């Protein structure tokens, strides 16, 4: 006898418009031409990357890009630093630019701040593709930090401009801003967090409260996934993080459980639908 689980997918979960745009662009070219280079993982989700790789998408890194000539390269939603565009001109590469408009706007704002000789701090994840592109607008001079504790180890100027990676927590950003002002710094703060992402915190908070258990589906590389999973865990302790259907454990559930399924902005809807089908088959 089965567990008789009823599972429902959160309608606000799944790809944000920036990721949808990049994937649709890739699929159009793959359908026509059968292959396409992409600089870095098109999305921080291994299952979706694998699906597109089977269609002919070739993931390359910056080192491999340097040796390519006369090729077509997709720039994913995270955006790129100016050096990538300079290399493309030098190597006669055609860039298919799927940079998210929210990220492009932020890049331009940071570039303007840098040109006006402002000292720039970026609240973001070290090594994240978007953050590398943002820091690139400042010739590598912006200070990137992941939390306040990191800033405690630094000698900061008295006056600076504060920006944020687009997928960071709004709450944390304002906490950092207020704390720095309280410490006597002159902070010009720019809230550059994507509202399509930040609105999900509120939506998730309401969604997860309605279920016995929560299955949060996300790639392990997704920084947005980590933040959203923390929201799930905060409002429903019975929340479980999985990257693939195989990771769902039968032992987590009881008879007649109501299970909510949600995911990151990099989680494909088909993967959440697979999770729903797997749960209802238990």
CB atoms near residue 33 (< 10 Å): 10
Please, what is the Cα angle at 73 between 69 and 78, to 5 degrees? 135
- Torsion over CA: 181, 186, 188, 192 (sign): negative
Residues in the chain: 282
* Continuous segment of H or E residues that includes residue 182: helix 170-182
Q: Nearest 10 degrees: CA dihedral of 69, 74, 78, 82?
A: 30
List of residues 6+ apart from 251 with CB closer than 8 A: none
Q: Which of 197, 250, 210 is nearest to 19 (CA)?
A: 197
Q: What is the DSSP letter of 85?
A: H
The bridge status of strand 57-60 relative to strand 94-97 is unpaired
The H-assigned helical ranges of 209-257 are 223-235
- Please give the structure tokens belonging to residue 228: 């959203």
Give yes or no: 150 in active site: no
HSE (side-chain half, CA atoms, 13 Å) at 98: 27
Q: What is the DSSP letter of 93?
A: P
Query: Which residue among the candidates 66, 130, 150, 246 is catalytic per the annotation?
Result: 130
Give the residue numbers marked as catalytic: 130
């Amino acid at each position: 006898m089965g567990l008789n689980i009823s599972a429902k997918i959160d309608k606000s979960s799944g790809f944000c418009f920036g990721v949808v745009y990049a994937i649709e662009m890739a699929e159009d070219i793959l359908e026509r031409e059968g292959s396409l280079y992409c600089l870095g993982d098109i999305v921080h989700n291994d299952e979706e990357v694998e699906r597109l790789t089977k269609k002919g998408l070739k993931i390359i890194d910056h080192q491999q890009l340097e040796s390519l000539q006369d090729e077509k390269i997709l720039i994913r939603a995270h955006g790129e630093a100016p050096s990538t565009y300079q290399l493309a001109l030098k190597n006669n590469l055609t860039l298919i630019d799927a940079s998210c408009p929210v990220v492009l706007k932020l890049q331009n704002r940071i570039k303007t701040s840098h040109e006006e000789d402002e000292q720039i701090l970026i609240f973001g994840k070290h090594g994240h593709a978007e953050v590398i592109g943002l820091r690139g607008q400042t010739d590598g001079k912006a200070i990137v930090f992941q939390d306040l504790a990191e800033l405690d180890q630094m000698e900061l100027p008295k006056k600076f401009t504060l920006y944020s990676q687009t997928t960071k927590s709004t709450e944390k950003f304002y906490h950092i801003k207020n704390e720095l002002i309280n410490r006597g710094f002159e902070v010009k703060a720019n809230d550059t967090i994507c509202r399509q992402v930040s609105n999900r915190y509120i939506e998730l908070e309401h969604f997860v409260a309605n279920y016995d258990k929560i299955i949060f589906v996300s790639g392990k590389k997704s920084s947005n996934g980590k933040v959203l999973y923390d929201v799930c865990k905060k409002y429903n302790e019975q929340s479980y993080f999985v990257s693939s259907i195989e990771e769902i454990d039968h032992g987590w559930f009881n008879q007649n459980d109501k299970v909510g399924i949600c995911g990151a902005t990099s989680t494909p809807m088909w993967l959440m639908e697979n999770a729903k089908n797997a749960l209802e088959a238990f």
